[in-house]
A and B are shown apart, each in its own frame.
Chain A
Amino acid sequence: MSHLTLAASEQAFEELFKLARDGFTFAKSDSASFGPFSASYSVALHLDKGSIQLNDDGTIEIDTLDVVWDTLTLQVCFDLPGFTIPGFCIVPDPWNGCLVGIPDIPIGGSICIPLNLSGLVSEISKVRARLKAKYFIDPGRLPGWTDLQAEFAGKPNKWQIFVDSDFVSVDPVDVPATIGNLFENLVEQAIEDLLPDWAKDLLMAFLQPVTDIVKAVLDVFDSVEDFLQDLIGEQFDLLGQIETVVADYFTNKYPIYWFEDPYPILTDGPLIPVKIPLRNLNANVNSKEMIITGDIG
């Protein structure tokens, strides 16, 4: 029989998980060129909600964990192919020619469309994990130090219990349909900005076919929402990155429970604390609780 047994109910384990979940943040910026266009992004996100289930086979399942995109800004830039809006006559000359007309107007150049999707919430549909006890030896600990010297230097060894994730499934970002309209409005605005002021009102009727040219340049075959979803999830592989950082966070970065080894007791007063070594630490779950066992060394 183990010298020490510590158990936490599923509800208590859920509170431990919330502590870990709330400590997670991820932020990144990047840019890349995708042939006819280039794009850049800046993201910052945290996790929220999620339900926990402990299983008798020792697995932990976390479902419907929200990914809250506190910042999600994108910028798509492309070179609008040069073309000319042909001139036309406004007041024709009844005998011949044109009294008042619009000359040919060349349009083209670099266009950038900024999009702010901050506040979106997507979902990690499933995390499957097991508990794992790891022994951490502080790399800054000098070879000749006793456990007490290591503690005084702030570099004690530690037992750490991680939620060792073996499966993380992140759902695609569900870009709302309203973004499609917004994107098209921004494209129109950007192109309008290329036109001379005097001609804007007259030429707006020509912009619809230009927007179609832009969609062709960006390979927007279906909808703008799908294009953005693909850009975020596949082209920039943000979903894959989130899967990796979430798994790494729970598996290696944030122990749900840790303590020094040897564990200090009788710490009050001027004398050195008494250090109790803990060995053979094991952590597991069943459908009712988390159980940690260990021996006194």
Chain B
Amino acid sequence: MAFTDNCDLFVSIHEEGVNRVGRHIMRQRPSLFNYATPDVAANRELWCQIPEFTTDVTKFGNPIFTILPYLPVIGADSPPVGLGLCVQVVHAQVDFHPSNVIDLPPELGSKLNDQHLALGLKICGGISCPDRDVLDAIPVTRSNPTGRDKPREAPPLVPVPGKLLCFCLDVFATAHAVRTFINGKERLAGEVDGVEIVDVKPDGLEANMECYIRTAVILFLRQKLAIPLQTLFINFPLFGLGTVSLSPTPKPPVPHNPAIEKDQLKAFITMTVSP
């Protein structure tokens, strides 16, 4: 059977290729995977993991960390106090159906369903924990109760230094591939079906963390890793040609487009040539 029996252009990428692409992205665009407050980002002694990155990243002034605001300490407003933090995705892996790269936890069904993919992440992070001496050295300023005097400008947030208490979580997600229009361009994106964090108790904490991570993964896939179909075809010359229009092959004749099968992600394109 030919690849193009039911279409004119076909592309497939094997999970091993996708994982290699993922490693290249992590090394060349580290700020997509490493997040920290300014004090942590500036001090590599505080990083939970030292990420690998290419020399071009620093040579061209690209950041290693995406800068996050300080974590506000509740109850402290005179002055407000913030803690440093760091979140790093230190390992990411994809497994296309059938399961043979990632051992899914039972909560996600252990084995992938047809046309699904698994995502395995190792996420490390921590909050900086200030010494008592540091906290005692923060002068208490006059508070500004609401509704009494004319509101004054809020005093600036005081970041407090401390050593990061790093921990790591194994996160698993299952997803399927969809075609979606983003900014007027048809793209291939992952749509998350389930998320599981291993060994977090109590259950309520786990559920909240899973919700946060699920939200982050959904938005990350949509905002950062939605691939234009043209990119998947590596700039094939027929894209953008005036006399040729290309569109995803419908179902039927292709049962799934995009398809996830035999450890590969596949896409099918039909061509129409105008005279």
Residues of chain A at the chain B interface (Cβ within 8 Å): 1-9, 11-12, 15-16, 19, 146, 148, 256-257, 259, 263, 265-266, 271-272, 274-278, 286, 288-289, 291, 295-297
Contact = CB atoms under 8 A, between A and B. Distances in A.
Contacts of B24: 274-277, 296
Size bin of chain B's contact surface:
35 or more
B222 interface: no
Given A148-B56, A274-B28, A4 B14 contact: yes
A271 B62 contact: yes
A8 B269 CA distance: 10
6 contacts: A263-B235, A275-B24, A276-B21, A277-B24, A288-B2, A288-B4
B21 A12 contact: no
A39 B7 CA distance: 54
B241 interface: yes
Nearest to B268: A7
Nearest to B271: A12
Nearest to B62: A271
A234 B3 CA distance: 46
B14 A12 contact: no
Contacts of A15: 238, 241, 243-244, 271, 273
Contacts of B231: 265
A4 B13 contact: yes
B274 to A, nearest CB: 11
A297 B19 CA distance: 11
A11 B17 contact: no
A194 to B, nearest CB: 54
B16 interface: yes
Given A5-B12, A7-B9, A9-B9, A259 B234 contact: yes
A271 to B, nearest CB: 5
Main secondary structure of the interface of B (DSSP, over half): mixed
Contacts of B5: 288
Nearest to A288: B2
Contact of B14 (A2, A6, A11, A259): A2
A256 B236 CA distance: 10
A263 to B, nearest CB: 6
A6 B244 contact: no
B11 interface: yes
Nearest to A19: B237
A4 B244 contact: no
B12 A257 contact: no
B43 interface: no
Given A12-B271, A271-B29, A276-B24, A148 B237 contact: no
B28 A7 contact: no
Interface in B1-49: 2-5, 7-14, 16-17, 20-21, 24-25, 28-29, 31
B256 to A, nearest CB: 17
A275 B28 CA distance: 8
A3 B16 CA distance: 7
Given A3-B14, A8-B236, A277-B24, 4 more contacts: A5-B10, A9-B2, A12-B238, A257-B236
A278 to B, nearest CB: 8
Contacts of A276: 21, 24
B21 A7 contact: no
Nearest to B63: A271
Contacts of A11: 8, 271, 273
